[in-house]
Amino acid sequence: MTRRMIFPLIFGIAGIAVLLMLGNWQTRRMVWKNNIIAEIDREIVAPTVPLPDQITPDMKYMPVTATGTTGSRELHMLTSSQETGTGYRVITPFTVQSAPGSPTASRTIMLDRGFLPASAKDAPRPQLELDVEGNLYWPDDLNSSTPDPDLGRNIWFTRDVPTMAAALGTEPVLIIARQDAGQGITPWPVDSSTITNNHVAYAFTWYSLAFVWLVMTGYLLWRIRRRTI
């Protein structure tokens, strides 16, 4: 080995080591994220409990039951999927019977009943008495690029729980229903599919860059060696 090859070799080894470390870190993050998602999946399908009197955002995904009556108003959140096409999530006030011993006889929260085709948006839907099974949920899909709701046409673009609750005059609590309650609304239950988990792709990228760095380092050393022969 010539002296001219020492620095490229050290630089190449250092670069490969850093890229492999980043790939390993993403692999560990992937395992960590998979464990979190598995725990969320178990929590989503756990046995239901009656809707608690005191509800906080750390109860996200809790499976609950509640008996109550839907309100006369609805909020419609624009959404779509490959299976259903374009339509709306239907979110309505839901006045529930409080548990025995509760200081209030009833309370009004919000109920996400599920998906409604766009063609049925303005069809009349009478109030219903429902026994609901679902999950408490605080969506986190609001970001800086989310448009403001079109209040004139009653079209929302995200489930902003506090803002929707203020519009409907309810508590800032949302249940996502997981069973069919009729009126042409298809339940769209909570699941973990919306949780971002790109660590496999990130790890593959770092490992690929490490391989490319290895090849480039080998090629550079080969060129240097040829010039010194």
Mean pLDDT across the stretch 150-164?
94
171 and 205 fall within a common domain: no
SS3 22: helix
Query: Do residues 26 and 207 touch, judged by C-beta distance below 8 A?
Result: no
Using pLDDT thresholds of 50, 70 and 90, give the confidence band for residue 82. Answer: confident
- 183 part of a folded domain: no
Task: Let me know whether 71 and 116 are in one domain.
Answer: yes
- Chain-centroid distance, C-alpha 175: 15
Same domain, 25 and 92: no
Which tokens belong to 5?
């090859």
Domain of residue 100, residue span: 62-177
DSSP 47: P
DSSP 217: H
* pLDDT for position 144: 79
Q: Position of tokens 């010539």?
A: 2
Beta bridge partners of 132: 66
Is residue 100 pLDDT above 70, yes or no? no
Does position 1 have pLDDT exceeding 60, yes or no? no
- For the chain, the domain total comes to 2
Q: Within 13 Å and on the Cβ side, how many CA atoms surround 215?
A: 6
The pTM assigned to this predicted structure is 0.79
Specify whether 100 is located in the same domain as 67.
Answer: yes
How close are the terminal C-alpha atoms of the chain, in Å? Answer: 11
User: What is the average pLDDT value for the chain, to the nearest integer?
Assistant: 89
Percent share of the chain, pLDDT over 70: 95
Task: Tell me what pLDDT residue 127 has.
Answer: 92
- At 131 the pLDDT is 92
Distance of CA 131 to the CA centre of its chain: 26
Determine contact, residues 8/221, Cβ cutoff 8 Å.
yes
